[in-house]
Amino acid sequence: MTLSSALLSGNGPLLESDALTLTADVLVIGGGPAGCWAAVTAAANGARVILADKGYCGTSGATAPSGTGVWYVPPDAKLRADARASRDKLGGNLADHAWMNRVLDRTYGNMNELARHGYPFPLDEQGAQLRRGLQGPEYMKLMRKRVKAAGVRILDHSPALELLEDSDGVAGAAGLMQRTGQRWSVLAGAVVIATGGCAFLSKALGCNVLTGDGGLMAAEVGADFSGMEFSNAYAIAPAHASVTKTAFYSWATFYHADGREIEGAGSQRGRSVIARTLLTQPVFACLDRVPEEFRACLRELQPNFFLPFDRLGIDPCTDRFEVTLRLEGTVRGTGGIRIVAEDCSSRVPGLYAAGDAATRELICGGFTGGGSHNAAWAMSSGYWAGEGASLYARSLGPNATKRQPRGAGRATLVDHGPRELLDTEAIIRGVQGEVYPYDKNLFRTRAGLAASREVLDGYWKALEARPAQLAREVVRAREAAAMVATARWMYATAEQRTETRGMHKHQDFPSLDPTQQRRLHTGGLEQIWVRPDPQQSQPTVQEHAA
Amino acid sequence: MIELVSEERCIKCDLCVEACPTDVFDAVPDGAPVIARQEHCQTCFMCEAYCPVDALYVAPHTDRSVEVDEAELIGKGLLGSYRRSINWNKQAPHRTTPELDEKMHAFRRLNTQRLASGR
């Protein structure tokens, strides 16, 4: 077996041949909200921290260009009970009340901390701050400032390509500096994966850096996943535009091209009707149900929403405009790396996961984690992962820096197959062809899932066997591999859930099966396995911590 | 997608090159940055937010390039309109008129109810 870094750094020892080699107690991969909270918390615990982002910490990811609600609920027993209950049924009763409570507590604390750090929350009638939402640009600018002030070294434009491991577990990561094409590596006591979900390059707002890279790297060291069948979130957006902010569409009427109203179409329960209509014809929308006196407020509440309309010369409250459903995959879905303990550790020693890279089933079950729940999860899980990773790194003692790990990356990095180069772009288009169509991913069938799996398995074989050779191509090829892997975990898990629950709609099994009220775990790369959570073998209504 | 780097307005600070999460721009010595990889643009508008002189324009179309005319964009008030709309860089809470404030609170409540109703 060739050392996985061979293509990038020659066949020499891994670390010595790299252009930039650093050591840290904690390496955080990903600079969105989860990564920033992890970095800040680890540093506050005395860890030396490095944060590597594929793009730019402060603008990368789904949060930065958006405004988002936050699951911020004051510690009042009734309010908290309502907050938990609102998600139980929607999520198919797969969430865990103890985790919901932890996240509600942590989010409340973290939001108040943001206020102390000067986040400019809007004011209510009495002049008190409204802390139930965050504007992405402002939030992430503040978080970058806090990360820097905590003494964290930030590596921008530095995608990670693979984790480093030895017999004790994960020991860092290696990647590329996008600008120079040179390799970086960080030897670290613990690694936090905060690379976001996977939206398959659909151009949903801010999502094109979210290609599932962290999931691929985690799987290569043996981490597993939970909730991967809940990965088919689609957002309403103006056709040809990226702004996937859907909060106002509950005020929309949906129309055929000839102006007839589409019966049953709606933003939430009627989204399937929109998808079915889009399979054969265009769909138009108009926010004509917003009472006239409130139309001016919409702009104040969510300025980003109006950006594409203003630039297209459309008034969304009076004009009909064409809409589409854009795939947000596991970004607004709930599947991700499985968390095995309260410190957000994965099942691999030294590896932690936070934000959308981790499963959000614990607080959302099988229904979209979008908006307020994902924002709450990012800041809570980031906090815990940063804390957990720093404690783990400390427990390794002084020997941590003497480890000699190897690169764990395989697909597109290891050169043991045919010599011809990979057609990465063709594979990316191919994966998109299996996960974008509503009649494959939203309306799932036994035959459709099996057919997609066969195609995707073929892509995986091609990616596994062939190397990508130029620096920029290596990053793109790893993205392709991560997307193929994510799609395979999604559909393999969907095949095992022979019912309809949460966002997983199975046409051959259109109703909920009470005996399947348990989470599904997924893992593997070459061979994929799926099994029910062994601790949930008896379906129970989880009330233990309520 | 990103369509314009205004030569006239650009002060060559290269903040857009740094801030773009998908590495669309290349810096040019003594010149305005160039749009080197337009196809990588995800239409997130972050470069516009970070540009201190409103020299950039991201067209709303995410799947195709469109012609833009700088003078026309300026005439329509579209250069820098994103930065203005998100009240970027303001440290004080955003204040509106008391009437609009009241409306916003009423609408927030209505919108929450409407979302909870599952429509």
Please answer yes or no on whether A59 and B63 come within 8 Å at the CB atom.
no
pLDDT of residue A153: 98
Which residues of A are less than 8 Å from B59 in CB distance? 311
Q: What's the pLDDT band for A349 if we cut at 50, 70, 90?
A: very high
pLDDT at A3 over 60: no
| Cβ atoms < 10 Å from Cβ of A318 | 12
pLDDT of residue A2: 31
**Is the CB of residue B18 less than 8 Å away from at least one CB of chain A?**
yes
pLDDT of residue A8: 43
Query: Which among A120, A208, A293 has CB closest to B42?
Result: A208
pLDDT at A10 over 70: no
H helices of A397-445, in order, are: 424-435
pLDDT at A369 over 80: no
CA–CA separation, A58 vs B46, rounded Å? 9
| Non-local CB neighbours of B88 within 8 Å, separated by 6+ positions | A137, A138, B49
Query: Which among A55, A301, A307 has CB closest to B82?
Result: A307
pLDDT digits (tens, 9 = 90+) for A174-201: 999 988 888 999 999 999 999 999 999 9
Per-residue pLDDT, averaged over B56-83, amounts to 94
Q: What's the pLDDT band for A159 if we cut at 50, 70, 90?
A: very high
* 3-state secondary structure (DSSP) of residue A322: strand
Percent of chain A with pLDDT over 70: 92
**Is the CB of residue A54 less than 8 Å away from at least one CB of chain B?**
yes
pLDDT digits (tens, 9 = 90+) for A231-263: 999 999 999 888 888 888 999 999 999 999 999
| Non-local CB neighbours of A443 within 8 Å, separated by 6+ positions | A272, A275, A276, A505, A507
CA–CA separation, A194 vs A196, rounded Å? 6
**Is the CB of residue A184 less than 8 Å away from at least one CB of chain B?**
no
Query: Which among B78, B86, B94 has CB closest to A137?
Result: B86
pLDDT digits (tens, 9 = 90+) for B7-25: 999 999 999 999 999 999 9
CA–CA separation, B52 vs B10, rounded Å? 9
**Is the CB of residue A148 less than 8 Å away from at least one CB of chain B?**
no
pLDDT of residue A542: 41
Q: What's the pLDDT band for A368 if we cut at 50, 70, 90?
A: confident
CA–CA separation, A72 vs A88, rounded Å? 17
Query: Which among B42, B86, B115 has CB closest to A203?
Result: B42
3-state secondary structure chain B: CEEEECCCCCCCCCHHHHHCCCCCEEEECCEEEEECCHHHCCCCCHHHHHCCCCCEEECCCCCCCCCCCHHHHHHCCCCCHHHHHCCCCCCCCCCCCHHHHHHHHHHHHHHHHHHHCCC
Per-residue pLDDT, averaged over A456-463, amounts to 93
Per-residue pLDDT, averaged over A80-98, amounts to 91
Q: What's the pLDDT band for B67 if we cut at 50, 70, 90?
A: very high
Which residues of A are less than 8 Å from B82 in CB distance? 307
| Non-local CB neighbours of A328 within 8 Å, separated by 6+ positions | A197, A199, A202, A204, A207, A233, A234, A235, A244, A370
* 3-state secondary structure (DSSP) of residue A298: helix
Which residues of A are less than 8 Å from B40 in CB distance? 208
Per-residue pLDDT, averaged over A444-462, amounts to 97
Per-residue pLDDT, averaged over B105-118, amounts to 79
Please say whether the beta carbons of A226 and A496 come within 8 A.
Answer: no
Which residues of A are less than 8 Å from B46 in CB distance? 59, 64-65, 137, 206
Please say whether the beta carbons of A449 and A496 come within 8 A.
Answer: no
CA–CA separation, A306 vs B55, rounded Å? 20
Per-residue pLDDT, averaged over A406-433, amounts to 85
Q: CA-based Rg of chain B, rounded to a whole angstrom?
A: 18
* 3-state secondary structure (DSSP) of residue A506: strand
Please say whether the beta carbons of A209 and A356 come within 8 A.
Answer: no
Query: Chain B: nearest CA to A196, how far in angstroms?
Result: 14
Q: What's the pLDDT band for A453 if we cut at 50, 70, 90?
A: very high
pLDDT digits (tens, 9 = 90+) for A119-135: 999 887 788 898 999 99
pLDDT of residue A193: 98
DSSP letter string, A155-194: ETT--EEEEEEETTEEEEEEEEETTTTEEEEEEEEEEEE-
Pick A423 or A17 by higher pLDDT.
Answer: A423
pLDDT of residue A419: 59
CA–CA separation, A498 vs A367, rounded Å? 17
Please answer yes or no on whether B23 and A61 come within 8 Å at the CB atom.
no
Q: What's the pLDDT band for B90 if we cut at 50, 70, 90?
A: low
Residue showing tokens 């701050």: A129
Highest mean pLDDT of the ranges A1-5, A130-134, A155-159, A268-272 = A155-159
Query: Chain A: nearest CA to B56, how far in angstroms?
Result: 14
**Domain-wise residue ranges, chain B:** 2-90
Q: Could you say which residues from 27 to 56 on chain B have a Cβ atom under 8 Å away from some Cβ of chain A?
A: 40, 42-46, 49-50
pLDDT digits (tens, 9 = 90+) for A289-319: 999 988 888 888 888 899 999 999 999 999 9
Please answer yes or no on whether A242 and B88 come within 8 Å at the CB atom.
no
CA–CA separation, A378 vs A26, rounded Å? 18
pLDDT of residue A40: 98
Q: What's the pLDDT band for A543 if we cut at 50, 70, 90?
A: very low
Torsions phi, psi for A511 (to 5 deg): -120, 165
Q: What's the pLDDT band for A115 if we cut at 50, 70, 90?
A: very high
pTM score: 0.94
pLDDT of residue A247: 83
Q: Which CATH number fits domain A424-516: 3.30.230.10, 2.60.120.10, 1.20.58.100, 3.90.950.10?
A: 1.20.58.100
pLDDT at A341 over 70: yes
Q: For all residues of chain A together, what is the average pLDDT?
A: 91
Q: What's the pLDDT band for A79 if we cut at 50, 70, 90?
A: very high
Per-residue pLDDT, averaged over A138-153, amounts to 97
Please answer yes or no on whether B62 and A178 come within 8 Å at the CB atom.
no
pLDDT of residue A400: 81
Q: Nearest CA to A485 among A439, A427, A445?
A: A427
pLDDT of residue A417: 58
**Is the CB of residue A253 less than 8 Å away from at least one CB of chain B?**
no
Query: Which among A120, A243, A247 has CB closest to B91?
Result: A120
Q: Is A315 left (phi over 0), alpha (psi -120 to 50) or beta?
A: beta
State whether CATH 3.20.20.70 applies to domain A233-328: no
pLDDT at A137 over 60: yes
Q: What angle do CA A132, A141, B112 make, to 5 degrees?
A: 20
pLDDT of residue A33: 98
**Is the CB of residue A124 less than 8 Å away from at least one CB of chain B?**
yes
Q: What's the pLDDT band for A11 if we cut at 50, 70, 90?
A: very low
Percent of chain B with pLDDT over 70: 92
Please say whether the beta carbons of A205 and A66 come within 8 A.
Answer: yes
Amino acid at A121: F
Q: Which helix (H) or strand (E) holds A532?
A: strand A529-532
Pick A392 or A10 by higher pLDDT.
Answer: A392
Sign of CA dihedral A329, A334, A339, A345: positive
pLDDT of residue A472: 65
pLDDT of residue A471: 62
Which residues of A are less than 8 Å from B20 in CB distance? 55-56, 59
pLDDT of residue A473: 84
Pick A140 or A543 by higher pLDDT.
Answer: A140
Per-residue pLDDT, averaged over A500-513, amounts to 97
Which CATH architecture group holds A6-231+330-407? 3-Layer(bba) Sandwich (3.50)
pLDDT at A15 over 60: no
**Is the CB of residue A306 less than 8 Å away from at least one CB of chain B?**
yes
Give the number of A-B residue pairs with CB atoms closer than 8 Å: 145
**Is the CB of residue A264 less than 8 Å away from at least one CB of chain B?**
no
Burial of A496 per CB tally in 10 Å (0-12, 13-18, 19+): middle
Which CATH architecture group holds B2-90? 2-Layer Sandwich (3.30)
pLDDT at A68 over 60: yes
pLDDT of residue A302: 83
CA–CA separation, A335 vs A377, rounded Å? 13
Per-residue pLDDT, averaged over A324-338, amounts to 95
pLDDT at A546 over 70: no
Length in residues, chain B:
119
Least-confidence region, from A9-23, B37-51, B90-104: A9-23
